[in-house]
Amino acid sequence: MHIPDGFLSIPVATSTYVISGSWVGYSIKRVREEAGEKAIPTMGVLAAFIFAAQMINFPVAGGTSGHLVGGTLIAILFGPYVASIIISTILIAQSLLFADGGITALGANILNMGIIAPIVGFVIYRALRKWHFKASIFIASWVSIVLSAAACALELSLSGTIPINVSLPAMVSVHALIGIGEGLITLFVILAIEKFNPDLIVNAKLHTNNAR
């Protein structure tokens, strides 16, 4: 889903840069107020953890494997602001260290994977968790992946690169499958985390004192 350089028009590239920049800037302000001095070390090791987890292929089901994106996972645990900052930073690191995702498309990539995904995931999880805890996690992560793929398709068609009647069905159908992996992995990881420390799931805050 990482859009490379050259696929976006100037208006799409610049407007997504502006939107992403503003949201990430606002998130930083919020997190700084909430977590204070601890923001750097705690989020730093979490970012390294998610970055590494994204590089690992999981067995999902029926012999297939997938890998974690983690936007919804972090959003469920620490809220959408922390998730946006961490995923955005990871996207910057990937565009440099792996040349994965273009420099001029960074705004769009952050918007899709670092903003839309965690916010959507967080909102759906919060709305549905009273109804069914496990289902809410799966649905939240699945929808977050599908919607960010749809946003990606929309940006490509707005740029005049790939027409919407081609890009949308292709992106959404592929990511409807990938989303199942993301949903299952996120669900299983949250369940495992809950077993060790139920408080963490309830609090959804960046307080690490209770971490053990």
Question: CB-wise, 130 or 195, nearer to other proteins?
Answer: 195
Q: Which stretch binds other proteins (CB under 8 A): 7-15, 125-133, 134-142, 143-151?
A: 7-15
Q: Which of 18, 49, 127, 199 binds other proteins (CB under 8 A)?
A: 49
Q: Closest distance between other proteins and the C-beta of residue 52, in Å?
A: 4
Q: Which of residues 76-115 bind other proteins (CB under 8 A)?
A: 85-86, 88-90, 92-93, 95-100, 102-104
Question: CB-wise, 127 or 197, nearer to other proteins?
Answer: 197
Q: Does 36 bind other proteins (CB under 8 A)?
A: yes
Q: Closest distance between other proteins and the C-beta of residue 173, in Å?
A: 13
Q: Closest distance between other proteins and the C-beta of residue 65, in Å?
A: 10
Q: Which of 30, 58, 126, 154 binds other proteins (CB under 8 A)?
A: 58
Q: Which of 33, 41, 173, 198 binds other proteins (CB under 8 A)?
A: 41
- Cα separations in angstroms, 207 against 34, 35, 36, 122: 9, 7, 10, 18
Q: Which of residues 9-28 bind other proteins (CB under 8 A)?
A: 10, 13, 24-25, 28
Q: Closest distance between other proteins and the C-beta of residue 176, in Å?
A: 17
The Cβ of residue 209 has, within 10 Å, a number of other Cβ atoms equal to 6
Pairwise CA distance, residues 153 & 138, whole Å: 23
Pairwise CA distance, residues 140 & 131, whole Å: 13
Q: Which of residues 140-199 bind other proteins (CB under 8 A)?
A: 156, 161-163, 166-167, 170, 184-185, 188-189, 191-193, 195-197
Question: CB-wise, 128 or 193, nearer to other proteins?
Answer: 193
* Binding-site size, other proteins (CB under 8 A): 75
Closest to 159 in 3D by CA, of 23, 1, 3: 3
Pairwise CA distance, residues 65 & 165, whole Å: 29
Q: Closest distance between other proteins and the C-beta of residue 93, in Å?
A: 5
